[in-house]
Amino acid sequence: MNIELGILHDGGVMMVSDTPLPDIVQRVEYYREQRLFMVVYSDEEEHPEELMHYEMPEHMAPPVENTPNIMIYSLFPDHEPIGYRVPLVHVGDLL
């Protein structure tokens, strides 16, 4: 599974997965000091949190720091992408 960040036309942030995610995302936690993202699923017992090791490009820092939520998009073979908005929880001090 490959996950990428992007900027929407309205300035919002999106996270796109090239394969279906294992469950519905409940929230995404952003650890400012390490610039890491943790995806938290609805069923945490079956699908524990996933820490994404993603080196965020410099141009993505301001939009990520300024948004309270993130759009999740999952791509499916032979199906339209599915997208929904979840909270983006900022953890730690601003750099």
Q: What pLDDT sits at residue 17?
A: 87
DSSP 61: H
Q: How far apart are CA 17 and CA 14, in angstroms?
A: 10
Return all residues near 77 (Cβ < 8 A) that are at least 6 apart: none
Residue located via tokens 């939009």: 63
Per-residue pLDDT of the chain (95 residues; tens, 9 = 90+): 788 899 999 889 999 988 888 888 899 999 888 888 888 887 666 666 666 766 778 888 899 999 999 999 988 888 888 899 999 999 987 65
Q: Is pTM, for the whole model, over 0.85? A: no
Return the pLDDT at 44.
63
Tokens standing for residue 2: 């490959």
Q: In the prediction, which pLDDT does 53 show? A: 64
Provide the residue ranges of all domains of the chain, joining segments of one domain with +. Answer: 3-91
Which residues in the chain belong to E strands, given as ranges?
3-7, 13-17, 25-31, 36-41, 50-52, 69-76, 79-91
